[in-house]
Amino acid sequence: MDAVKVYGRGDTEVRALDGVSVGFPAGRFTAIMGPSGSGKSTLMHCAAGLDTLTSGSALIGDTELSTLDDRRLTLLRRERVGFVFQAFNLIPTLTVAENITLPTDLAGGARDDEWYDALIDVVGLRDRLHHRPSELSGGQQQRVAVARAFAGSPDVVFADEPTGNLDSRSGEEVLRLLGSTVRRTNRTVVMVTHDPVAAAHADEVVFLADGRLVDRMPDPTAERVLDRLKDFDPRTLGASAGGTSASGGQAGAGVRS
């Protein structure tokens, strides 16, 4: 019973995920890497409850996502998941401050002022709180998105190519921000990227190819990731997949058999 995601049927069938079992441990920064079409985005979307699996199961903590209806999935995203997308992360009509508190505001709950204050300092946007997104640079916008993702104290934050639209300096800032937030506040982050430099900021890198898990690499550096990627050969697929089951510890989120 491995996680499978199939798009289309018959001849046009695409197995975006073909039996992946992976866990993302809590309190860690995990990067998902793989060539285009390897299924990394699909894996993330399914793990985050944005998309549903064809078979298999996706869990966040002990919550089985496939058992949730749309409303519960929405509430789960609101309360237990944070998102940073590649672009268009902010609502243009809301100020920076309002964008950060959006999930809390949608929930109608009171926000944790202390946590919010700390976050503002971490992302360093205190003087920009009442600006509109259009008045910020791309890097600043992504930092706001990171702050928003963490604002509701989620169990896990998913980042989909968060630096894809940024120049390398701004990207570096955003990645450092993600990393430092994980380590300082013991949060869980899962990031999809195709950039080895970005992946190097993670605690561990998970490699995907053709919808299968092919390798895991703890404590990555950019060079090692790059080397590993160069090794990628479709024929070796699955060879090193054995033994990469969900970690027995406190799984922050995962897709597993």
Which stretches of the chain bind other proteins, using CB under 8 A? Answer: 45, 50-51, 70-71, 74-75, 77-79, 82-83, 85, 88-94, 98, 102-103, 105-108, 148, 152
- Pair of tokens at residue 162: 């968060």
Burial 213-250 (b: 16+ CB within 10 A, else e): bbbbbeebeeeebeebbeebeeeebeeebeebebbeee
Shortest Å, Cβ 160 to other proteins: 8
Q: How far is the CB of 103 from other proteins (least distance, A)?
A: 5
Following CA atoms 58, 60, 61, 67 in sequence, which dihedral angle do they give, to the nearest 10 degrees? Answer: -60
Whichever of 155 and 215 has its CB closer to other proteins, that residue is 155
When the beta carbons of 51 and 204 are compared against other proteins, the nearer one is: 51
Cβ proximity to other proteins: between 106 and 226 the closer is 106
Q: How far is CA 73 from CA 65, 111, 250, in A?
A: 7, 21, 22
Choice between 106 and 222, CB closer to other proteins: 106
189-192 and 156-160 beta bridge pairing = parallel
In the complex, the smallest distance separating the C-beta of residue 147 from other proteins, rounded to whole angstroms, is: 12
Compute the least distance from the CB of residue 5 to other proteins, in Å: 12
**Residue 102 or 217 having the CB closest to other proteins:** 102
Interatomic CA distance for residues 175 and 188, integer angstroms: 14
Tokens of 10: 């018959």
Minimum distance between the CB of residue 187 and other proteins, rounded to whole angstroms? Answer: 16
CA distance 198 to 174: 10
- Cα-Cα-Cα-Cα torsion 67, 68, 73, 79, nearest 10 degrees, comes to -90
In terms of CB distance, is 56 or 82 closer to other proteins?
A: 82
CB of 73 vs other proteins, minimal distance in Å = 9
Please name every residue paired with 123 in a beta bridge, in sequence order, or none if there are none: none
